[in-house]
Amino acid sequence: MRNSQAPELGAAQYRVLCDLVREHSGLNFGEDSRFVVEKRVARRMAAVEAPSASAYVYELRRGGASDELTALVDELTTNETYFFREVGQLRALVDEIIPEMRMRRNGRPVSVWSAGCASGEEPYTIAMMALEAGLVPGRDLHIYASDIAPSVLKRARRGVYRPASFRETPEPLQQKYFVEKDGVRRLRDDIKSHVDFIHLNLLDTERVALLGRMDVVICRNVIIYFDGDTKKRVIDLFYDRLHPGGYLLLGHSESLITLSSAFELCHLRNDLVYRRPIAGEGTDDPWHRLARETLASFDDEGRR
């Protein structure tokens, strides 16, 4: 071994392992991630008492290894998030998108899906902001949240957070919605009850379909970890899961410009977001013309 903690994965073994992870979860790891991947693979090898890296990779390749692949993806996933992250976009959701969707749905609850919710800060932020805006979760909106990593969903359901999660949270809201004890803050149980969590792999289209159609999908800083083909698959899935007129919110560093021209770009007061067009509405605007031209300049393997 190179050190006491990392397994000695040969070049071929590393490629096979990364291919298995990508096929299972969509996560794309290159050579530049090798040190981190090997350290985290070592933890899983110790957990299952694998005698060698070769034996571990061999077991992953065998049929019926999906549970261990899930555990490995859980170990490999980076879950850096905090409350009120990129809050301008969430203001657009609460102040503009949800009221519009409620009018269109004749007052019926708006369905919001936080895809890749990590330890729950994003969907819980939406619940708090909705309450602050006078909306009532359960009556005005339903909040669903999913992640591929079981360990972070367990933390999300517990609703216990350390100071790093509150770097952008106004102190009055911390006092209002959390109870502090022993250096951590616990979210009030009534707020936790407003979010339904589910373990979900975005590549599992049959299981995703069980969620039904959504009015809003929020998937921020997730697809940046996918390769080009997987990004397109996931964006197509979101399009299929959204009601016509529904909204897709991505992270500020993410764009559909090379992935899809099926959505329209909407300029709201607080942010720019994507929207699934309603049948009969035109999309011959400058952004869509640029998107179509850009997509046409790439071949099937994503090369210009």
Taking CA atoms, 184 is separated from 17, 82, 162, 280, in Å, by 37, 14, 5, 52
Question: Which pLDDT band, with edges at 50, 70 and 90, does 301 fall under?
Answer: low
Query: At a CB cut-off of 8 Å and minimum separation 6, what does 183 contact?
Result: 162, 163
Question: Which pLDDT band, with edges at 50, 70 and 90, does 177 fall under?
Answer: very high
**Statement: residue 288 has pLDDT above 60:** no
Quote the CA–CA distance of 171 and 158 in Å, as a whole number. Answer: 21
pLDDT tens digits for range 219-264: 999 999 999 999 999 999 999 999 999 999 999 889 998 999 999 9
Q: Which two tokens stand for residue 220?
A: 């921020």
Which domains, from first to last, does the chain contain? 11-76 (1.10.155), 87-296 (3.40.50.150)
Q: What is the pLDDT of residue 118?
A: 94
Q: Which two tokens stand for residue 245?
A: 């007129």
CB 146 within 8 A of CB 116: yes
Q: What is the pLDDT of residue 296?
A: 62
Q: Which two tokens stand for residue 8?
A: 């000695």
Question: Which pLDDT band, with edges at 50, 70 and 90, does 201 fall under?
Answer: very high
Quote the CA–CA distance of 182 and 149 in Å, as a whole number. Answer: 27
**Statement: residue 170 has pLDDT above 70:** yes
**Statement: residue 97 has pLDDT above 80:** yes
Mean of the per-residue pLDDT values for the chain?
Answer: 89
Residue 282 burial (10 A CB sphere; 0-12, 13-18, 19+): exposed
Mean pLDDT of 98-117: 94
